[in-house]
Amino acid sequence: MLTLTPIVCVAAAIALSQILDTYLVAKTPKTDSQAHGSSDVTKNLAQAVPDTLRSTRTPLVGIYSYGSKAMIVGTIMSYLFLFVLHCTWVTSNAYSSPSVVLASRLPDGSQHIIDDYREAYYWLRQNTAENAKVMSWWDYGYQIGGMADRPTLVDNNTWNNTHIATVGKAMSSREEVSYPIMRQHEVDYVLVVFGGLLGYSGDDINKFLWMVRIAEGIWPDEVKERDFFTPRGEYRVDDEATPTMRNSLMYKMSYYNYNALFPAGQAQDRVRGSRLPAQGPELSTLEEAFTSENWIIRIYKVKDLDNLGRDHQSAVAFEKGGKKKKAGKRRGPRVLRVE
């Protein structure tokens, strides 16, 4: 098709040019008698010949009616106008597929714009420091740099495979391993793309295995792709997911607080078609900073070191224990004792 397309375009242009050249000519050709003149005898004989025989003897081939010409030219111009509209639509919908602004169709056929990317980038631009460094997969590096005006750890122009593998290792490791990596590279925020709620299949969970593979290429002893598959060789995110998968930073950031959107025990991932565990993941080294309207973009802030020197898990456990104790100390209204 790619080879025939230029040939078809040139042939169509030649055909349209010939048709327009034919039907845009307003002149009517003269007959031989009108062009060269005739004697009186010829005129007298011509007058004696019926009109039907005269037209047969010297026929005029072609379409010389102005109405017919206008109809043909008008039809061709209408088709050309519709062709321009069709080309514009195909270019904007089929050939131009921006990954920032998503579009879907409602049941009534109207278009629905999903603008979570720009919403998240605008939040980063307005609510973070100008030198705040964002860690995300390299696919979104240019978008964050251009639309949010924030530096990223890796972007689309990162040629150093070790840098990309570093992000992959941080995403695929436990929090205890990921946190020193983020602190070492002065990461302030972590951005992930999650499509489980809306059914957006281009999220980071579907790209996660590439992060694991790239990280395994640099640290084969620390990151192993096989640990993310079940004994049956399945890539799962539900109750049958492997401990390595469920403890990875990517899994925790994607499904953190996701169960709160559903009734108890009914959390569903629409992309993977899986029912998630009743108990969702918990984070200790990150705190949720922003989640877009459709939960496509999730941004987390990296916590600072604990002021008391505790590790983050102990600090989170202490805070939860303190809240429970405070809740348990609540008493009912005091009743005066009457003797």
pLDDT of residue 60: 62
Nearest to 271, CA basis, from 193, 199, 198, 205: 199
Segment 261-277 shows an average pLDDT of: 93
Q: Which amino acid, 302? A: V
Q: What is the pLDDT of residues 66-101, one digit of tens each?
A: 888 889 889 999 999 999 999 888 887 777 666 788
State the Cα–Cα distance between residues 259 and 262, nearest whole angstrom: 6
Query: What pLDDT is recorded for position 20?
Result: 86
pLDDT the model gives residue 323: 55
Please report, for residues 130, 165, 216, 231, the alpha-carbon distance to residue 220 in angstroms, rounded to integers and kept in the order given. Answer: 36, 11, 4, 20
Average pLDDT, the chain: 85
Q: Is a pLDDT exceeding 80 seen at residue 47?
A: no
**In the block, residue with structure tokens 């019926």:** 50
Residues 54-74 have a mean pLDDT of 72
DSSP 152: B
Kindly report, residue by residue over 279-318, the tens digit of the pLDDT. Answer: 999 999 999 999 999 999 999 999 998 888 888 888 888 8
Domains of the chain and any CATH numbers? 4-29+43-95 (no CATH), 116-312 (3.40.50.12610)
**Could you tell me which residues come within 8 angstroms of residue 144 by beta carbon, excluding any fewer than 6 positions away?**
121, 124, 134, 136, 150, 152, 155, 191
164-202: per-residue pLDDT in tens?
A: 999 999 999 999 999 999 999 999 999 999 999 999 999
Which range, of 61-70, 139-148, 247-256, averages the lowest pLDDT?
61-70
Question: What is the per-residue pLDDT for 260?
Answer: 93
d(CA 280, CA 277): 6
More confident residue, 56 or 321: 321
DSSP character string of 62-114: S---HHHHHHHHHHHHHHHHHHHHHHHHHIIIII---SSSEEEE-TTS-EEEE
Tell me the pLDDT tens digit for each residue of 109-122: 888 889 999 999 99
CB 161 within 8 A of CB 168: no
Residues 6+ positions from 229 with CB-CB distance below 8 Å: 235, 242
pLDDT the model gives residue 62:
66
Q: Residue 134's pLDDT band (boundaries 50, 70, 90)?
A: very high
Give the per-residue pLDDT at 332: 55
Model confidence over 7-41: pLDDT tens digits?
Answer: 998 999 999 899 888 888 877 666 555 555 555 55
Q: Which of 264, 250, 274 is nearest to 196 (CA)?
A: 274
User: pLDDT at residue 338 above 70?
Assistant: no
Mean pLDDT of 55-65: 64
Q: Confidence class of residue 253 from pLDDT cuts 50, 70 and 90?
A: very high
- DSSP calls for 213-245: HHHHHH-TTT--GGGGS-TTS----STTS-HHH
Phi and psi at residue 116, in whole multiples of 5°?
A: -70, -35
User: What pLDDT was estimated at residue 306?
Assistant: 83
Give the C-alpha distances (Å, rounded to integers) separating 187 from 50, 90, 104, 134, 137. Answer: 99, 41, 34, 6, 13
Among all chains, which residue has been given the structure tokens 């930073």? 249
**In the structure, what pLDDT confidence band is assigned to residue 131 with cuts at 50, 70 and 90?**
very high
* Per-residue confidence (pLDDT) for residue 290, from 0 to 100: 97
Query: Each residue of 22-53: b (16+ CB within 10 Å) or e?
Result: ebeeeeeeeeeeeeeeeeeeeeeeeeeeeeee
User: What is the C-alpha radius of gyration for the chain, rounded to an integer number of angstroms?
Assistant: 37
Can you tell me the mean pLDDT for 100-110? 84
Provide the pLDDT for residue 171: 97
**Distance spanning both ends of the chain, measured CA to CA:** 101
Question: How many other C-beta atoms lie within 10 A of the C-beta of residue 140?
Answer: 26
Whether pTM exceeds 0.85? no
